[in-house]
Amino acid sequence: QAKKLGKNQYKYYDKEVEEAVYLRKKLAEHVHKAVNEGMFNLLFMPIVDTNTRTIERAEVLIRSDYPPLKKAGPAEFIPVAEEYGIIEKIDLWVLESVCKIIQENTKTFSRYSEFKICVNISSVELHNKQFVEQVKLLLKKYAINPRFIEIEITETSLVSTDQMSCDVLTELNELGFSLALDDFGTGYTAFSQLVNYPIHCLKIDRSFVSEIGNKTKDGAIVINAILSMAKSYKLETIAEGIETDEQYQYLKQHGCMMMQGYLFSKPMPWDDIHQFIL
Ligand code: C2E
Ligand code: MG
Ligand code: MG
Ligand code: MG
């Protein structure tokens, strides 16, 4: 009896895996089509100063109106693009779009000189020798100052012994970009290793923020540790996913410098956010 059940479960598992693989492959074909036919657009999510609540930065988030990708969202289609080798085109398209925006709004940017656009770049590029060269070409083509761009790399992608990613980050830093570690707290970076990277900013992952106010204090403990460490290393801090006033107050009291989340604003088109920073 037990044996028979086991066998059936195994078959069921096989079928599920097969189906998941098939769906990912199908999604990869949609991403391919979207890349080739330019079916992406960008939204901008305000990042506000904790004390003044004025917009300091804006994070660019990719979207698509192409139904299969609209349904999946970037959390699903970006990993597929990474797996199928299509991510470089996407990352460079996003970066080029941002360079264009900065070029077209040079006056605004230089008047409001602290403002930055934050761009998510896949950790795949940390192992892509072409990437920095392509970025240099973009800077040349648009003749913009990279200090208006912050590059976000997810923390989970960093391995301290990996010289190549360290070199790519160093080159980006030397070109003049700011660098932020995204989803911070979810990876394994020992605090002491942070000095090895040219990092300016830590983005505290939304999963910890959403735990504020829970009976278990785990989220708060992680947040406090990150904030006090950031302070001693003189790193900027941004908390992600602020939805309630309780979360806002907690992070404010503990010295988090900047925040983003639905409490302040949802992501919006450039023309809308432009009104706020003019
Ligand atoms: P991320 O870089 O950590 O971006 C933050 C995500 O949290 C965004 O989801 C944003 O919409 C969401 N978020 C921010 N505040 C709140 C809040 O208060 N409540 C809730 N429920 N959500 C909030 P999104 O746009 O779906 O992006 C998911 C992930 O996809 C991003 O996580 C990033 O890793 C990746 N991604 C997005 N755009 C790009 C892109 O242009 N290039 C690359 N390489 N990756 C991207
Ligand atoms: Mg991000
Ligand atoms: Mg994040
Ligand atoms: Mg993320």
Does the CB atom of residue 146 touch ligand 1 within 6 A? no
Q: What's residue 209's pLDDT?
A: 97
Among protein residues, the one with the nearest Cα to ligand 1's atom 5 is 240
Tokens read off for 110: 């230089």
Q: What's residue 201's pLDDT?
A: 96
Supply the ipTM of this predicted assembly.
Answer: 0.98
Q: Which of 222, 236, 157 is nearest to 189 (CA)?
A: 157
Does the CB atom of residue 31 touch ligand 1 within 6 A? no
pLDDT in tens, 159-188: 767 888 899 999 999 999 999 999 998 887
Does the CB atom of residue 185 touch ligand 1 within 6 A? no
Rounded Cα distance, 260 and 46, in Å: 6
Whole-number Å distance, alpha carbon 89 to ligand 1 midpoint, is 19
Contact 136, 171 (CB under 8 A): no
- Look at the alpha carbons of 79, 80, 84, 86 in this order and tell me if their dihedral is positive or negative: negative
Q: How far is CA 71 from CA 20, 68, 114, in A?
A: 16, 5, 35
Q: What's residue 194's pLDDT?
A: 81
Contact 139, 177 (CB under 8 A): no
Rounded Cα distance, 204 and 107, in Å: 32
For strand 236-239 and strand 201-204, is the pairing parallel, antiparallel, or unpaired?
A: parallel
Whole-number Å distance, alpha carbon 219 to ligand 2 midpoint, is 19
Contact 76, 96 (CB under 8 A): no
Does the CB atom of residue 269 touch ligand 1 within 6 A? no
Question: Three-class SS string for 11-35?
Answer: HHHHHHHHHHHHHHHHHHHHHHHHH
Does the CB atom of residue 79 touch ligand 1 within 6 A? no
Amino acid letter for position 149: I
Taking a 5 Å cut-off on Cβ, the residues next to ion ligand 2 are 120, 152, 182
Contact 222, 241 (CB under 8 A): no
Q: Which of 152, 79, 156, 153 is nearest to 119 (CA)?
A: 152
Contacts of 128 (CB under 8 A, 6+ apart): 88, 168
CA dihedral 186, 187, 193, 199 (to 10 degrees): -70
Q: What's residue 162's pLDDT?
A: 81
Among protein residues, the one with the nearest Cα to ligand 1's atom 13 is 241
Bridge partners, 180 (sequence order): 152, 201
Give me the residues of the chain with pLDDT under 70, please.
1-13, 160, 278
Which of 76, 120, 204 has most ligand 1 atoms within 8 Å of CB, for mutation?
Answer: 120
pLDDT in tens, 15-40: 888 888 899 999 999 999 999 999 99
Q: What's residue 110's pLDDT?
A: 85
Q: What's residue 49's pLDDT?
A: 97
The 10 Å Cβ neighbour count of residue 275 is 8
Contact 150, 180 (CB under 8 A): yes
Contacts of 74 (CB under 8 A, 6+ apart): 61, 62, 63
